[in-house]
Amino acid sequence: MTTPYTQLEKKFKRLNILGDCAGMLHWDMATMMPRGGAEARAEQLALLATMSHAMMVEDEMADLLNQAEDDGDLNEWQQANLQEMHRAHTHATALDEELVEAFSRAKSTCEQVWREARPNGDFKSVVPALKEVLNLTRQKAQAKSQKLNCSLYDALLDAYEPDGKAVEIDEIFAKLEAFLPGFLPEVLEKQKQMSFDKPQGPFDLDKQKELGLSFMTALGFDFDHGRLDVSLHPFCGGIPDDVRLTTRYDEDDFTSALMGVLHETGHALYERGLPVEWRDQPVGAARGMSIHESQSLLVEMQVCRSDAFLTYAVPKMTQAFKGQGSAWSLDNFINLYRQVKPGFIRVDADEVTYPAHVILRYKLERALIEGEMEVEDIPASWNEMMQKLLGITPPSDREGCLQDVHWYDGAWGYFPTYTLGAMSAAQIYGAAERALPTLEGDIEKGDFSGLMNWLKVNVHSLGSKLSTQELMKKATGKALDPDVFITHLKKRYS
C-alpha cells in the first residue's frame, strides 16, 4: 500500500543514489583523475548537488514529511528513518539553490588548487580559493543557524555530529587541556629511558601495499566490495557496497602508511557493517563522524598498537621486508608504535599529542566561521597555537596549515569529531574487552572475528537508529565519558 511514508522512502532512495554518484566522483578526483579534468569534475559535482537539493526542497517533500507524522503504524526503524529525513530536509531547505551550486563549485576548485599548493608549501596560492569557500561556508552557517535556532558553528557541526553542541565540546576539550600539559612531560621523561630503533629502508612500495592488504584481509575486509589506492591525503570513501580506501606511502618508513591503512580499514568495516536492509535510507547511514572516527581509531589505536596485535603482526612485517637485527624485535616495535613525540602532522600523531592537533583546528575554524579571523591569518595563528600546545613550530605551511584537505574541501565543523571519536573508541573497546574475555588472546593469533562481530551487533548494524549518546549507552553502558580516555592514556603510557 502506498502511503506518505513509503513515497518518502522512494524519494530518499533516489537521493541516496545521487549521493553515491557524488561519492565515487570525489574518490576518482582524489586518486585517478588527471589534472585537466578538474573543471569538468566541478561541473559534474555541482550538477549532482543542485539536483539533490532541488529534490529535497520541492513542496511535495514537505507535504509528505508532515503527512507521514500522522502514520501510527511505523515501527521503530521507520520512525527513526522519518526523523533523519526531517533532519536532512531541514538542512537542505535552509539553503537556496544558488548557494548550494556555488559552494559545490568553490570547494571542488579549492581542493584542486590545494593539491598543487600543499607539496610546495605555497599557502598564498590557495588563499583566493579558500576565501571563497570560507565566504560561502559563513553564508551556509548563517542560513542554517536561523533554521536550526543555534550558533553558527553548531549549524555546521550538526552535519557531522548530529545534535552536537560546541558548548559540550568546550567542556570535554577543557578537561583534556587541563590534563595533557602535565601528562605529556611525564610521558616524555619516562620515554627517555626507552630505545626507539627505527627500521631502515628503503621499503618497496609494492611490498608495503601487499602487507597492508594482508592485514585488511585478516581484519575481515571484503575485497569484492572495495579496494585500496593512493591519494595525497588518506581517506575512506565510496559507498557501503563499494568502499574505497586510500593511503600514502613513504619508501623510508613503512610503519606510517601501514597504520594509515589500518585506520581507514576501521572506517571501511563500519561502512560494510551498516544495516543492509536500510542501506538506501537515511537511518541506514553512519551515526555521525564521532562514531565513524571511533571505529577507525578503535582499529588503529586500541587494537593495532596493542601488545597483542604486534605479537601477531611483527613476524609478518619482518618476513615482508626481510628485516634483521634489534630494530625488528617485538619490544622495539611496541616502543615505536607507542612513542610519544610532538610532531607537525596530525595523521601521524600519537595518542597523547593527537588531541592537541584537533583542539588547534577546532579553535581556528570556530574563529574563522565567526569572523574573528580571516584566511590570511591562518598560517601565523596556526604556528602560534602549535607552539603553545606542543612547543614546536612547523618549518613550512606544508607541515602546517596545508596538511589537511578538510577546509579546502568545504568540511567545516568536522575536526572535533576526531578527538570525540578517540574517546569513544577507548570506551567502546573497553566494553568489548569486558564482553569478550578471550579477546587479547584471539588478537595475538590474528583472529579478529569475535571483535568484529561484537562491533557489528553493538555499533555498525544500528546505523542511525539511535542518537550518538544513545548508541554509546547501549554499547558501553554510559554516555561518552572523557575520564575513560584519560584512564586509557595513563594505563598505556605511564
H-run or E-run covering 224: none
Active site residues: 264
Specify whether 245 is located in the same domain as 387: yes
Per-residue model confidence (pLDDT) at position 494: 86
| Residue 144 φ/ψ region, left for φ over 0, alpha for ψ in the -120 to 50 degree band, beta for the rest | alpha
Spatial CA neighbour of 293 closest among 319, 316, 312, 270: 270
Alpha carbon of 464 to those of 155, 189, 453: distances in Å? 19, 43, 18
Of the residues 134, 162, 190, the one at which a domain ends:
162
Reading the block at residue 83, the C-alpha cell is 526523523
Distance CA 12, CA 268 (A): 23
Per-residue model confidence (pLDDT) at position 72: 85
Convert the pLDDT of each residue in 297-330 to its tens digit: 999 999 999 999 999 999 999 999 999 999 999 9
Per-residue model confidence (pLDDT) at position 256: 87
Specify whether 449 is located in the same domain as 427: yes
Distance CA 198, CA 335 (A): 10
Using CA of residue 262, residue 268, residue 270, residue 272, what is the dihedral sign?
A: negative
Q: Indicate the angle between helix axes 416-435 and 449-458, nearest 10 degrees.
A: 120
Specify whether 230 is located in the same domain as 123: no
Per-residue model confidence (pLDDT) at position 8: 97
Specify whether 143 is located in the same domain as 184: no
CA atoms within 13 A on the CB side of 119: 6
Specify whether 155 is located in the same domain as 183: no
Looking at the structure of the chain, the number of domains it has is 2
The distance in angstroms from the start CA to the end CA of the chain is: 62
CA atoms within 13 A on the CB side of 199: 29
Using CA of residue 161, residue 164, residue 168, residue 170, what is the dihedral sign?
A: positive
- What CATH number did the domain enclosing 214 receive? 1.10.1370.30
Reading the block at residue 257, the C-alpha cell is 602508511
Of the residues 136, 162, 188, the one at which a domain ends:
162
Any idea which residue has 589500518 for its cell? Answer: 262
Alpha carbon of 19 to those of 7, 192, 238, 284, 394: distances in Å? 19, 50, 10, 14, 37
Angle at 376 between CA 370 and CA 380, to 5 degrees: 95
At 319, which amino acid appears?
Q
Distance CA 89, CA 386 (A): 39
3-state helix, strand, coil split of the chain in percent (to 5) is: 70, 5, 30
Distance CA 217, CA 224 (A): 11
pTM over 0.85: yes
Residues near 405 by beta carbon (within 8 Å), at least 6 away in sequence: 111, 114, 232, 233, 235, 411
Specify whether 476 is located in the same domain as 422: yes
Per-residue model confidence (pLDDT) at position 246: 94
Specify whether 279 is located in the same domain as 346: yes
Per-residue model confidence (pLDDT) at position 347: 86
Specify whether 74 is located in the same domain as 182: no
Specify whether 216 is located in the same domain as 336: yes
Specify whether 444 is located in the same domain as 364: yes
Specify whether 149 is located in the same domain as 261: no
State the Cα torsion 134-168-343-235 to the nearest 10°.
Answer: -60
Strands 226-230 and 236-239: unpaired
Of the residues 117, 145, 162, the one at which a domain ends:
162
Any idea which residue has 611496541 for its cell? Answer: 334
Per-residue model confidence (pLDDT) at position 348: 86
Convert the pLDDT of each residue in 324-379 to its tens digit: 999 999 999 999 999 999 999 998 899 999 999 999 999 999 999 999 999 999 99
Specify whether 113 is located in the same domain as 178: no
**Per-residue H/E/C for 299-360:** HHHHHCCCHHHHHHHHHHHHHHHCCCCHHHCHHHHHHHHHCCCCCCCHHHCCCCCHHHHHHH
Q: Which residues of the chain have pLDDT under 50?
A: none
Convert the pLDDT of each residue in 131-154 to its tens digit: 999 999 999 999 999 999 999 999
Kindly state the percentage of the chain with pLDDT values over 70: 100
The residue segments making up the domain with residue 476 are 167-493
Per-residue model confidence (pLDDT) at position 232: 82
